[in-house]
Amino acid sequence: MTQTLKTETAKKVATYDLQGKNNGFLIELFKDGEKTTAYLTCATPRAFKGYHLHRVRAARYVCIKGKMKIIVYVDGKREEYILDGTTPTRLFIPKNVPTGLENIGTEDAWLINYPDPPYDPSLVDEQVDFTEEECESSEYLKRI
């Protein structure tokens, strides 16, 4: 039985912080129709991405290169996790948890996310952005 090989374009987009400064990029690794089931996010050295939460989907992070600090706010309390590409560890983040990603290394950091359920571009209000001040004051709890 002969199998057909094919290539597909993987969408890559530049990402920016709240001040409009480039902080890396995102690549859709795998799609199921219109939904993204896995993607890679790259943060440049010392870059920060966030804060945001997802109303519908959880995140599953694995750092495969560099070192990332993952900052989350759970029930109004700040928690931090270090993910390092030299010792891959999975971090599960439930929906409605504000999350920030900070590259704390000296090289680009790569993080793979397997969102659950997959990212659906038709859900336009599913992601909510916050400032650190809103997270620290628990103001975000009023918007979820």
128, β-bridge pairs? 53
Alpha-carbon distance of 134 to 17, in angstroms, equals: 16
pLDDT digits (tens, 9 = 90+) for 65-75: 999 999 999 99
pLDDT at position 139 is 84
pLDDT at position 138 is 87
Q: Is 52 inside any structural domain?
A: yes
Q: Answer yes or no: is pLDDT of 1 > 80.
A: no
Q: Is 114 inside any structural domain?
A: yes
Q: Is 2 inside any structural domain?
A: no
Q: Is 3 inside any structural domain?
A: no
Q: Give the global pTM.
A: 0.91
Q: Answer yes or no: is pLDDT of 57 > 90.
A: yes
Domain count, the chain: 1
Q: Answer yes or no: is pLDDT of 19 > 80.
A: yes
Secondary structure (3-state) at 33: coil
**Between residues 1 and 66, the one the model is more confident about:** 66
In the block, which residue shows the tokens 């504000």? 98
CATH of the domain at 132: 2.60.120.10
Q: Answer yes or no: is pLDDT of 143 > 90.
A: no
